[in-house]
Amino acid sequence: MKRHASSNVDGIRRAVFTPVDNRARVETVVHRLGDAIELGLLADGEQLPGEMELAGQLGVSTVTLREALMALRQQGLVTTRRGRGGGSFVSLPDVPGEERLKTRLAGWSTEELRDLGDHWAAVSGAAAHLAAQRTEPDDLQPLRRTLGELRSAQDAAARSRVYGRFHIELAAAAQSARLTRAQVSLQTEVGALLCLVLGDDEYREEVADRHRAVISAVQDGAHDSARALAERCVQDSTARLIALRLAMPRTASGPRPLEGTHEQEPRQPDGRRGDA
């Protein structure tokens, strides 16, 4: 039985608050909530669930959650109000911190980025394929709206939010709760990083054209074409992130060496490596 667009929105929100990995610590919660805020999946000024409720939804202890909220406050992504009507509220930044993003990107090796891209392409491709088989006209309205926002978005932060939202809405249009959760999880890993490649107006238009082509293929029921187009969009974005990662300078305190390189310690006068 086909479902309509209203249920897609509910599915996206449920996916944001599904439990994080049982091994997760504070950093994982910070990434999940922080990137969801930067991607616009949580609205500016929106009140987060209470600590007990939110900790239960994410499957972490209240101590872990409080430490994560403290980190988010320090990053300017959450504000806390005391007293009656108080709580934790989303504070959407104008532009994600560039150094934060570069540090995140530096933490990925090129092999890890390729692996992430493969997973992302597989999820988006499967979502597009199923959406082409299952959607009704109303299910495509969120995608068309997001496409319009992408074309009008003037800064990289806004573009990255609507880019990620498009792929999440595509999974929701496929009427697959698992694909939607997978896409939300992927966007918390890669979505904010897209700010680093979406500042270029020409590339923004290229992405918008690809998204428009995906919508057309889904509407026409061309499931194989929809899959290929969605995969190509993701693969191209991943390639741009990899190229940026390869261009990043390496310093003594910088990221680990890239695959295929073997950075050696300097030799000492007696021929030994390492500190004297």
Q: For 117-160, how does the pLDDT look when each residue is reduced to its tens digit (9 = 90+)?
A: 999 999 999 999 999 999 887 889 999 999 999 999 988 888 98
Q: Residue 163's closest CA among 242, 238, 246?
A: 238
Domain ranges of the chain: 5-90, 98-247
Q: For 161-197, how does the pLDDT look when each residue is reduced to its tens digit (9 = 90+)?
A: 899 999 999 999 999 999 998 998 888 788 888 989 9
pTM strictly above 0.75:
no
Q: Residue 122's closest CA among 169, 171, 82?
A: 171
What span, in angstroms and rounded, lies between the C-alpha atoms of 261 and 206?
Answer: 33
What span, in angstroms and rounded, lies between the C-alpha atoms of 178 and 166?
Answer: 16
Distance of CA 229 to the CA centre of its chain: 19
* Surface-to-core class of residue 156, CB atoms within 10 Å of its CB (0-12 exposed, 13-18 middle, 19+ buried): buried
CATH architecture of 5-90: Orthogonal Bundle (1.10)
Q: Residue 196's closest CA among 250, 160, 230, 152?
A: 160
Q: Look at residue 113 in the predicted model and tell me its pLDDT.
A: 95
Tokens at 276, concatenated: 């004297």
Of the CATH numbers 3.50.50.60, 1.20.1440.120, 1.20.120.530, 3.30.2090.10, which one belongs to the domain with range 98-247? 1.20.120.530
- Is the predicted pLDDT of residue 83 greater than 90, yes or no? no
Query: Helices (H) and strands (E) in the chain — how many of each?
Result: 11, 2
